[in-house]
């Protein structure tokens, strides 16, 4: 759907999305089009609009007309306005997602020591935007230790709140098989040391968190959730996904 200024798209929830528009219009012209759009979309529950960072001068106009912030990234921000008073706004992104990795070579465990905690822990870190869990596992282990691994299974799930930025953190710990053994730290700005350590020694060290010990103990006992190879389970073809059973 188009008007003279915006490209409008209806969603399945009786909402309207202002998908794109040019940055060539003045603030006064933008405000006029917002007013026209609000007047013509009174039968909708919510109206959404995404602004690029180059369009940020339009934010005061939107908040003036009742739009609120919903979610953002480095390059754009999405705002939403309730047209119907009690319309439900879905929760925005409210957590960070991280991975930890148990890598075993016979009876040796791969561990790292970073510049913040300065105690031996599992390699891992935050999942990048649009990155799958298994991809993050392989990338993080290689960046922190230089060890190449193959993802095996999900063995632990932790939820912590509040965490970084005051949001929740979902911590997915996986088991991975080493494909190499020679350590070569890539991310030396963060990682002070990486080494193979005897797992029995790791489980008895006083400077290791009890939580990390529990993860390793369970990894030795349980197989965990393995990825499904059945591509027919999800019929929507325009999303990236992983399933574990």
Query: In 10 A of CB 194, how many CB atoms?
Result: 23
CA count, 13 A, side-chain hemisphere, 225? 15
Q: Of the candidates 26, 27, 40, 57, which has an alpha carbon nearest to the alpha carbon of residue 18?
A: 40
Beta bridge partners of 20: 7
Q: Would you state the pLDDT for residue 3?
A: 53
Q: Please give the backbone phi and psi of residue 117, each rounded to the nearest 5 degrees, phi first.
A: -85, -35
The model's pTM is: 0.83
Preceding peptide of 233 cis, ω within 30°? no
Return d(Cα 1, Cα 132) in angstroms, integer: 34
Cβ proximity of 113 and 188 under 8 Å: no
Distance CA 64, CA 161 (A): 33
Helix/strand/coil for 239: coil
Which stretches of the chain drop beneath a pLDDT of 50? 2
In percent, the amount of the chain with pLDDT more than 70 equals 95
- At residue 194, φ and ψ (nearest 5 deg) are -135, 140
Write down the pLDDT at residue 23: 62
Q: What is the pLDDT of residue 92?
A: 86
Residue with tokens 């202002």: 18
**pLDDT value for 94:** 83
Domains and CATH numbers, the chain: 7-82 (3.40.630.30), 95-221 (3.90.79.10)
* d(C-alpha 141, C-alpha 184), whole Å: 11
Q: What is the pLDDT of residue 181?
A: 96
Q: Distance between CA 192 and CA 213 in Å, rounded?
A: 21
């Amino acid at each position: 759907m188009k008007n003279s200024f915006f490209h409008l798209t209806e969603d399945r929830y009786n909402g309207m999305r202002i998908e794109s528009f040019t940055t060539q219009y003045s603030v006064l012209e933008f405000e006029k089009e917002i007013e026209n759009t609000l007047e013509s979309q009174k039968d909708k529950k919510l109206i959404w609009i995404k602004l690029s960072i180059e369009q940020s001068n339009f934010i005061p106009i939107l908040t003036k007309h009742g739009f609120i912030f919903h979610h953002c990234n480095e390059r754009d921000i999405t705002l939403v306005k309730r047209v119907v008073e009690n319309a439900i706004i879905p929760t925005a992104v409210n957590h960070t997602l991280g991975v930890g990795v148990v890598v075993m070579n016979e009876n040796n465990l791969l561990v790292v020591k970073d510049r913040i905690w300065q105690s031996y822990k599992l390699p891992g870190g935050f999942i990048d935007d649009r990155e799958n869990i298994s991809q993050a596992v392989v990338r993080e282990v290689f960046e922190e230790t230089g060890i190449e691994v193959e993802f095996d299974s999900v063995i632990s799930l932790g939820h912590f709140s509040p965490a970084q930025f005051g949001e929740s953190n979902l911590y997915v710990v996986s088991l991975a098989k080493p494909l190499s053994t020679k350590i070569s730290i890539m991310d030396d700005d963060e990682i002070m040391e990486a080494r193979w350590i005897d797992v029995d020694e790791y489980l008895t060290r006083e400077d290791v968190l009890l939580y990390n010990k529990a993860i390793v103990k369970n990894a030795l006992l349980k197989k965990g959730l393995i990825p499904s190879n059945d591509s027919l389970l999800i019929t929507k073809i325009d999303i990236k996904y992983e399933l574990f059973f």
